[in-house]
């Protein structure tokens, strides 16, 4: 079985998202050697057990809190570069999969094999990025050298074309996010008890785009609801203290349904900005599997979820839609629609696109 070197920009045990799902699916076709930066702070992490054809290669570097010291950044770069060089030389790897433009600088400039750049976010626009000029420079060179650049959304594709020009637009391939896991049967699902306190749940990272103002406003208008939030909270995020906003911590991916099974609805309360406009949310695919009503902010990239979700554009619409959900036990979509959507949008289907690109 051919080997592929897979470079990811997060710790393998960070909440399970696109990089881990794709790596696991690729391991059905390749031996996947994953190099990632080891994180010493494990708060909010999971235990993502790799499949048999996945080899994890963590790079332990000098902790981020010491980055202000001279030469620390250069030393950490050497650690990562050495791991990459060893893998490429010892195993004669001809295919490299990169998930962030910041990782491109660790790849030898004379590397002649295939490079796939998986652009899953607008990295330049991410608020946590302090050196956007370096990211933009790396990304431009990476797209130029890559065999193909995968984009997770149409908006992201348009952003890259606008930012770097049309010369490489034929290299941009749309590979959306998908669903991974067991499609639940209706018989196994929990039936809500009437007159129970209404629980509205969210799972995923809590970052600067999480709209706490909207959540707090709704608590004033609806006395019988409370919010349960599952997932890690990014450093520096100020979360409100309210007895009806409960932070439940991170839950293992295979235990998500058990955590939210008694919820009345699932939400995606984001503030729309340049980052969000390019996001194809993995959570919406997973929400649909749970056979719950879904309430989400509206933006162009997710209009195609219209059959499955209730959209809102401002708090007035959010309040109106929430009132509707609380008064009815009926789910917007049918069981057949749910199953058909998940089967069509599985990660195993997405990976067929990627394997075709790798073998082209």
The answer to whether the beta carbons of residues 205 and 249 sit under 8 Å apart is no
Query: What does the pLDDT look like over 49-73, one tens digit per residue?
Result: 888 899 999 998 776 666 556 677 7
- pLDDT over 70 (residue 312): yes
Instruction: State the pLDDT at residue 263.
Output: 94
pLDDT, residue 45, reads: 75
Q: Token pair for residue 54?
A: 């996945």
Residue 66, pLDDT score: 60
In this prediction, residue 328 carries a pLDDT of 85
Domains and CATH numbers, the chain: 3-178+345-359 (3.40.50.2000), 186-343 (3.40.50.2000)
Average pLDDT, the chain: 90
338-349 pLDDT per residue, tens: 999 999 999 999
Full DSSP string of 100-143: -GGGGGGS-TT--SEEEEEE-S-TTT-TT-S-HHHHHHHHHHHH
Asked if residue 46 lies in contact with residue 250, where contact means CB atoms within 8 angstroms, the answer is: yes
Q: Do the Cβ atoms of 106 and 80 come closer than 8 Å?
A: yes
Over residues 156-164, the mean pLDDT reads: 96
For residue 35, with 0-12 CB atoms within 10 Å meaning exposed, 13-18 middle and 19 or more buried, which class applies?
Answer: buried
pLDDT of residue 77: 82
Confirm if 272 and 299 have CB atoms less than 8 A apart: yes
């Amino acid at each position: 079985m051919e080997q592929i070197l897979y470079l990811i920009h997060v710790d393998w045990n960070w909440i399970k998202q696109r990089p881990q799902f794709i790596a696991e699916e690729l391991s059905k076709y390749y031996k996947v050697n994953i190099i990632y930066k080891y994180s010493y702070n494990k708060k909010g992490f999971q235990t993502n057990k790799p499949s048999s054809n996945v080899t994890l290669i963590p790079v332990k570097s000098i902790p981020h809190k010491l980055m202000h010291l001279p030469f620390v950044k250069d030393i950490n770069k050497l650690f990562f570069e050495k791991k990459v060089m060893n893998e490429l030389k010892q195993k004669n790897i001809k295919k490299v999969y990169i998930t962030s433009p910041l990782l491109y600088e660790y790849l030898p400039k004379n590397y002649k094999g295939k490079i796939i750049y998986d652009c899953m976010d607008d990295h330049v626009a991410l608020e946590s990025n302090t050196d956007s000029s370096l990211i933009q420079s790396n990304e431009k060179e990476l797209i130029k050298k890559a065999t193909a650049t995968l984009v997770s959304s149409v908006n992201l594709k348009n952003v890259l074309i606008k930012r770097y020009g049309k010369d490489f637009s034929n290299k941009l391939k749309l590979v959306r996010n998908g669903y991974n896991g067991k499609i639940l049967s209706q018989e196994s699902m929990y039936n809500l008890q009437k007159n129970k306190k209404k629980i509205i749940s969210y799972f995923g990272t809590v970052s600067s785009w999480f709209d706490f103002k909207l959540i707090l406003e709704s608590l004033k208008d609806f006395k019988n609801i409370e919010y349960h939030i599952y997932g890690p909270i990014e450093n520096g995020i100020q979360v409100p203290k309210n007895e009806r906003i409960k932070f439940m911590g991170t839950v293992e991916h295979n235990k998500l349904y058990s955590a939210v099974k008694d919820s009345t609805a699932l939400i995606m309360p984001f503030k729309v900005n340049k980052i969000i406009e390019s996001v194809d949310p993995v959570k919406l695919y997973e929400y649909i599997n749970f056979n719950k009503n879904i309430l989400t902010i509206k933006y162009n990239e997710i209009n195609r979820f219209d059959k499955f979700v209730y959209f809102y554009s401002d708090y007035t619409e959010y309040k109106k839609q929430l009132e509707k959900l609380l008064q009815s036990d009926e789910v917007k979509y049918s069981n057949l629609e749910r199953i058909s959507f998940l089967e069509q949008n599985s990660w195993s289907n997405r990976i067929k696109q990627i394997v075709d690109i790798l073998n082209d």
